[in-house]
């Protein structure tokens, strides 16, 4: 696993202190039958979904089942997909004891509509998905079986390689973006690869800065992320909660990343966060023949954020009808998290 550290000494020291309160990064491969099927029949279409799951509130199993049934893809079942998650959590004995003298973020805890809160590692195992999870911070000061950390995760039906953690400029809380590469062979025998990244920027500035400067903090974090991912010959998709509550897509974080990811567009559909705010984005830098579009799913699935979805055609694919944002009806309808 590659690790991209900060350059400034103050940020490195703060990151190192916060790191002592969280467990290690985790990778688990998808079930073998998925990997074997990919090798046998090839892959030329991939769905990417990005979602802030509200530290347990988002029903990941429900949205994965909706993907697999074709709920968002005009009835066409999705076999291969990557899910980029923000505010995922991991619980249990992998979390160390609370270190003395290290500021611990308050516990954030939400429950999905069915009330069964499940951490990201157990969720991935139950769904048969590969998972790469990188904790950013501890989730409260609980010890033992109830201890938790939280951060970013990548779920995938296909094996992941080239894992990386990317430290973002420190401001109030430790933030680590998770990056990995998914690769395959299309039915014609052509190899392809796609780097996928899950990132979550700061919501507010620290006590040394007034709250009105928080957009500048996020701009600095976005600039650093873009610099780390600057190798333009690598097709890349970033799913991110930019926390752009002050200015939406006019904030420096969005405009900074947009300049490096030219296939990006503002997601079509409703706002991604309650109250009409646009906080969540998907940034794309892919070959022009990889047809892609981004939509906001019009359902929260128990979180306080709506998911974003994009269909990537790994070769120029004609006749595709597009992505539907219609969400599963029933208990989720109108749920605001």
pLDDT digits (tens, 9 = 90+) for 2-58: 999 988 888 889 999 999 999 999 999 998 766 556 655 688 899 999 999 999 999
17, part of any domain: yes
Q: Contact at 8 Å (CB) between 323 and 293?
A: yes
Q: Which residue has the higher pLDDT, 290 or 230?
A: 230
Lowest-confidence pick of 53-62, 272-281, 319-328: 319-328
141, part of any domain: yes
Q: Which residue has the higher pLDDT, 87 or 325?
A: 87
Q: Mean per-residue pLDDT for 103-108?
A: 94
What does the pLDDT read at residue 210? 42
**Total residue length of the chain:** 337
Instruction: In whole angstroms, give the CA distance from residue 190 to residue 212.
Output: 49
Q: Cα(first)–Cα(last) distance of the chain, in Å?
A: 34
222, part of any domain: yes
265, part of any domain: yes
What does the pLDDT read at residue 334? 29
Is residue 211 predicted with pLDDT exceeding 50? no
What does the pLDDT read at residue 291? 66
Per-residue pLDDT band at 331 (split at 50, 70, 90): very low
Please list the residues that pair with 273 across neighbouring strands.
277, 305
Q: What is the mean pLDDT of the chain?
A: 87
Q: Mean per-residue pLDDT for 286-310?
A: 90
**HSE-up of residue 72 (Cα within 13 Å, Cβ side):** 27
264, part of any domain: yes
Tokens of 318: 């004609």
What does the pLDDT read at residue 196? 98
Instruction: In whole angstroms, give the CA distance from residue 112 to residue 104.
Output: 25
DSSP annotation of 204 reads S
What does the pLDDT read at residue 36? 59
Per-residue pLDDT band at 190 (split at 50, 70, 90): confident
Q: Which residue has the higher pLDDT, 211 or 310?
A: 310
Per-residue pLDDT band at 261 (split at 50, 70, 90): very high
In the three-class reduction of DSSP (H, G, I as helix; E, B as strand; rest coil), residue 48 is classed as: strand
Structural domain containing residue 233:
2-313
Is residue 221 predicted with pLDDT exceeding 90? yes
Please list the residues that pair with 194 across neighbouring strands.
182
Lowest-confidence pick of 32-41, 77-86, 192-201, 274-283: 32-41
Instruction: In whole angstroms, give the CA distance from residue 54 to residue 89.
Output: 9
334, part of any domain: no
In the three-class reduction of DSSP (H, G, I as helix; E, B as strand; rest coil), residue 34 is classed as: helix
For 121-162, write each residue's pLDDT tens digit. 999 999 999 999 999 999 999 999 999 999 999 999 999 999
Beta strands 130-138; 26-28: pairing state: antiparallel
Is residue 296 predicted with pLDDT exceeding 90? yes
Instruction: In whole angstroms, give the CA distance from residue 244 to residue 66.
Output: 28
Tokens of 245: 């509550």
Per-residue pLDDT band at 62 (split at 50, 70, 90): very high
Nearest to 25 by CA among 176, 212, 160, 170: 176
Domain count, the chain: 1
Instruction: In whole angstroms, give the CA distance from residue 52 to residue 56.
Output: 10
Tokens of 4: 């991209």
Is residue 317 predicted with pLDDT exceeding 50? no
Nearest to 295 by CA among 282, 306, 279, 309: 309
How many helices (H) and strands (E) would you count in the chain? 6, 13
333, part of any domain: no
96, part of any domain: yes
What does the pLDDT read at residue 10? 84
CATH of the domain at 142: 3.60.10.10
């Amino acid at each position: 696993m590659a690790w991209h550290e900060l350059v400034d000494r103050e940020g490195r020291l703060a990151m190192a202190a916060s790191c002592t309160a969280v467990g290690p990064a985790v990778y688990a491969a998808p079930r073998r039958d998925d990997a074997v099927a990919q090798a046998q029949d090839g892959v030329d279409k991939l769905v990417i979904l990005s979602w802030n799951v509200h530290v347990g509130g988002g029903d990941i199993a429900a949205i994965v089942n909706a993907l697999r049934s074709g709920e968002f893809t005009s009835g066409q079942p999705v076999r291969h997909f990557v899910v980029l998650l923000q505010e995922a959590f991991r619980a249990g004995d992998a979390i160390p004891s609370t270190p003395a003298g290290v500021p611990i973020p308050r516990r954030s805890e939400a429950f999905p509509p069915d009330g069964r809160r499940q951490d990201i590692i157990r969720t991935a195992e139950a769904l048969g998905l590969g998972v790469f999870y990188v904790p950013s911070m501890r989730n409260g000061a609980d010890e033992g079986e109830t201890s938790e950390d939280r951060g970013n995760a990548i779920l995938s039906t296909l094996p992941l390689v080239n894992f990386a953690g990317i430290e973002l400029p420190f401001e109030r809380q430790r933030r680590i973006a998770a990056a990995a590469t998914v690769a395959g062979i299309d039915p014609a025998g052509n190899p392809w690869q796609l780097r996928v990244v899950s990132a979550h920027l700061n919501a507010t500035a620290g006590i040394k800065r007034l709250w009105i400067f928080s957009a500048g903090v996020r701009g600095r974090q976005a600039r650093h992320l873009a610099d780390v991912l600057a190798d333009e010959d690598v097709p890349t998709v970033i799913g991110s909660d930019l926390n752009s509550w002050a200015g939406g897509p006019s904030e420096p974080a969005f405009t900074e990343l947009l300049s490096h990811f030219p296939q990006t567009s503002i997601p079509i559909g409703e706002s991604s966060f309650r109250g009409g705010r646009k906080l969540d984005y998907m940034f794309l830098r892919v070959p022009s023949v990889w047809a892609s579009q981004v939509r906001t799913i019009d359902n929260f699935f128990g979180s306080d954020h709506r998911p974003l979805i994009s269909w990537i055609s790994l070769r120029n694919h004609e006749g595709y009808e597009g992505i539907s944002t219609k969400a599963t009806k029933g208990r989720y309808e109108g749920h605001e998290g």
